[in-house]
A and B are shown apart, each in its own frame.
Chain A
């Protein structure tokens, strides 16, 4: 998967978490996720379709998810309830929707977000496409943005 397909998600994540939520954010080096199921306890997922196919997953620990949504809504949450799950869905929706503006090689439709929780779930990533994981560190805890997108061009 080309860097130019990962960068829009990195940029959209920086925009959301650093510029908008005001977190002091550090992004680590994007790397292939050896085990595509190696994700946090709370994951927001969006499918990408249209002129390519793929998925993007925002993954947190339970504690970080609660703190992130609290910061996003400016309202304190203390448990992983329906509001926090809804908020995680909105965060991944913003990342995917914003990334579209820089994915210039193809027109993409994004699915409605889904959020899965727990310690033993399995994400059905698009078959045969590697998953690139972008790690982030923040004062609210670490998280990852994971992207799997089919290369359509022949550059």
Chain B
């Protein structure tokens, strides 16, 4: 299972990676991107099974990424978990309407994050 972690913060990408690695996900299955543009390029090169996506990023932000990736036929049903500090109700609705599968508000890590991701990891 290939998981693409998209966040412009290297600190956040490491936090997410560590949560997954500590729970048995192979490091080789984790791919990182620092913005939506890089993520979109990676997703067209490699088949991705799960996207973990930040919202506020340079170049192509999370919401723009969702719209772009959902337009690709191979990713119309792939789970996209938005993990963001954007906690306003209108932000959640906007993300869900754009095609996000689930929405997690930062700060979150460890068990709390894994509980949200578990159903999409086949565990």
Q: Chain A interface (Cβ within 8 Å of chain B)? A: 15-16, 20, 69, 72-75, 82-83, 86-87, 89-90, 93-98, 100-101, 103, 107-108, 110, 112
Contact = CB atoms under 8 A, between A and B. Distances in A.
Contacts of B58: 112
A75 B15 CA distance: 10
Interface residues of B, number: 23
Contacts of B57: 112
A73 B85 contact: no
The 6 A-B pairs with the shortest beta carbon distances in the complex, nearest first, are: A97-B85, A101-B87, A100-B88, A94-B85, A20-B107, A87-B11
A97 B11 contact: no
A69 B14 CA distance: 13
Q: Specify which of B84, B85, B86 lies most central, judged by the most chain A CB atoms within 10 Å of its CB.
A: B85
Given A97-B85, A97-B87, 16 more contacts: A16-B107, A73-B15, A74-B15, A74-B18, A75-B14, A86-B9, A89-B9, A90-B12, A93-B85, A98-B87, A98-B105, A100-B91, A101-B88, A103-B88, A107-B90, A110-B56
Interface of B: 8-12, 14-15, 18, 55-58, 84-91, 105-107
B14 A94 contact: no
A89 B11 CA distance: 10
A56 to B, nearest CB: 12
Contact of A83 (B11, B18, B86): B11
A72 to B, nearest CB: 7
Given A20-B107, A73-B15, A97 B9 contact: no
Contacts of A86: 9-11
Nearest to A90: B9
A112 B62 CA distance: 12
B82 to A, nearest CB: 12
A44 to B, nearest CB: 11
A100 B56 CA distance: 14
A68 to B, nearest CB: 11
11 contacts: A74-B15, A82-B10, A83-B10, A86-B10, A89-B9, A94-B107, A97-B55, A97-B56, A100-B88, A112-B57, A112-B58
